[in-house]
Amino acid sequence: MKIAIIGITGRVGSRIAAEALRRGHTVTGIARSIDQAKVPAGVQLVQGDATQPEQLAALVRGHDAVVSAAKFSVLKAAPLLQALKSAGVKRLLVVGGAASLEVAPGVILLDSPSFPAEYKSEAVPGKQFLDDLRAETAVDWTFLSPAALLEPGVRTGKFRVGQNQLLADEQGNSRISMEDYAIALLDEIEQPKHIRQRFTVAY
């Protein structure tokens, strides 16, 4: 498949690219500034501003899927969806956050007393992004929320899959490596199971 990744130079975006290349897909990386050293060998890196729908549409046209690993404080859902529709790309996968996951019935992590204030500048627009996607019926979107802790680590291929609730282990730890997160996202691209849905992964 031909996969375009927005936010390719970030820690998660670069690992998604590596997993896609590992599986034999063609990867186009979209970044505001070209820095080949920050992406895996084999990525076709192109310069572009994803917040500009016309510019983004020209870059993603002809791709089978678009992955957005951009910051929610920078890229909103509306221009992204507009660009995909204009380009005729049906499939969108979004690197989500954990803040919108439920920790109790009707209570999301973002609204819990223990949620760190310094994360809210990204978590609040992340929740809004998901809300905006849920109103979208033309694009086949998927929003993949990681566990509470998403860090560089080991590629194991062993993790649990959930829907809208935060997953934690018996000790109360909620974590997933970026490498295993990338596996879950590529699995969803290749064998879609969560069209117009959010899902989550954790150990």
Q: HSE of 48 in the Cβ direction (CA atoms, 13 Å)?
A: 26
pTM for this prediction: 0.96
Give residue 42's pLDDT: 95
Residues 56-72: pLDDT tens digits?
Answer: 999 999 999 999 999 99
DSSP states along 135-196: T--SSEEEEEE--SEEES-------EEESSB----TTS--EEEHHHHHHHHHHHHHS---TT
**Residue 37 to residue 18: CA distance in whole angstroms:** 13
Longest Cα–Cα distance of the chain, Å, equals 48
Domains and CATH numbers, the chain: 2-202 (3.40.50.720)
Give residue 35's pLDDT: 82
Give residue 37's pLDDT: 80
**Residue 50 to residue 75: CA distance in whole angstroms:** 7
Give residue 34's pLDDT: 83
Residues 116-153: pLDDT tens digits?
Answer: 999 999 999 999 999 999 999 999 999 999 999 999 99
Give residue 52's pLDDT: 97
